[in-house]
Amino acid sequence: MVDYKICWVIEILMIISCLHKIEGKKFILNARTIILVISDVLILNAVDKGMIPDIASILVYPLIAGYTFLQFGSGIKRSIIDICIMFVFLGIIQMFCTMPVTYVFQRYLDEDTMSLIIYIVALFVYLISTHFIDLHALEEIFLKSELLLIGVMIIGTIIVVAALIMTKALAGMFFGEYITAFILIVMIFAITVSWNNYKQKAIEASSELHAYKIYEESYKNLIDEIRVRQHDFDNHLNAIYNQHTIYKTYDELVLHQQLYCNQLIADNKYKKLLCIGNSAVIGFLYGKFLEAEKKGIQIDYDIHIIELNIGIPIHKIIEILGNFINNAIDALEVYSPKRLHVQIIESNSDFVLFVDNSGEYIITEEFSNFFRKGYSKKRRWKGTWTIRN
């Protein structure tokens, strides 16, 4: 006869390990973990021996909730999400393993031995699946989601927990009931994911429209400036043409014509921004370049864009550009000369964004820290980590 305590310990350790995976932390066997394992085993053992009612087995779930809250120091929302993900993930694994094991071995093995096999198979499946499924990334998705999405997830969790309680309290479920519960859970999550994708697309569309509205005025200012300069184009040609009447020597004429042309090029240097073909990005870059010029920064840019169709929403491109350019401008506050170079190149398969300045040289080891959450040389705790998200 197989001791049920082995099954309980396996299940509790899977729960604890899964919670650590969801939190993105390494599993450590500390005092809290040992207390949780012992407490759960004592409760389930008391239920098994008839010392307390069967319904008391649900007491293990408040203990798990308390453990999650204390072990990881998470808020209530994060703890609820962690527990929901854990129950759904492990519940699906258990149901998925119970069906084939029950179908194959129920005629040959006693109930206790078959339960042990189910838990061992479930543990094996869990260890393999966690190598391919990023539970921490799933947690981050739900943390950014609204209450409705979390509510649907909780409903799915309740269904799984109810199915597990029925399995333990009523000596199992029929094969068809497992199938029904599994299909229902899959449908709930399929609908939830579809709704979340639709919501995200709506948010992206709204953000993109907002970006166009914000930088529309800057774009119009650039257009108006180019039109004014285009209107004066004939006057500039006449000025260059008639300089030969002012300067007596050839060298003087060449020198002053060159100075005049260089000034014209400098005055019209932002005309090439129109080649980008996207009014929001044009308006944003034009505004940023003018902002940098007011701070005495010399601007140089090289932009070659086909359609700006790189699979990233326009407002996200603007956020990334803004983060890099802002950091580059801020870094030039105490340096001279102040130069900023921006390069954006789009090819058929690549999109290259390069922002350089004449500030302090940063070693590779320190540069990699900029993409780490919480790191900022300016102590603003924003940094370039947001670009990766």
- 46-96, pLDDT tens digit by residue? 877 778 877 777 788 788 888 888 888 777 778 888 887 888 788 778 877
Residue 309 near residue 324, CB atoms below 8 Å:
no
Please give the biggest Cα pair distance in the chain.
Answer: 116
Mean pLDDT, the chain, integer: 73
Cβ neighbors of 81 (< 8 A, separation 6 or more) are 139, 142, 143, 150, 153
- pLDDT confidence band for 171 (50 / 70 / 90): very low
* Among 272, 263, 253, 296, residue whose Cα is nearest residue 344: 272
For the chain, list the strands marked E by DSSP. Answer: 298-304, 339-346, 351-357
The DSSP string of 192-259 is HHHHHHHHHHHHHHHHHHHHHHHHHHHHHHHHHHHHHHHHTHHHHHHHHHGGGGT--SHHHHHHHHHH
Residue 121 CB-half CA count within 13 A? 17
d(CA 281, CA 246): 44
Strand partners, 302: 343
Q: Which amino acid is at 289?
A: F
pTM: 0.48
User: How confident is the model at residue 175, as a pLDDT?
Assistant: 47
d(CA 112, CA 57): 18
CA–CA distance from 148 to each of 32, 110, 153 (Å)? Answer: 33, 44, 9
| Local structure of residue 343 (DSSP, 8 states) | E
Residue 15 near residue 86, CB atoms below 8 Å:
yes
pLDDT tens for residues 269-328?
A: 667 676 666 677 777 777 888 888 888 888 888 877 766 777 777 777 777 888 888 888
pLDDT tens for residues 219-268?
A: 677 666 666 666 666 666 667 766 777 777 877 777 877 787 777 766 66
d(CA 159, CA 170): 16
The DSSP string of 299-321 is EEEEEE-SS--SSS-HHHHHHHH
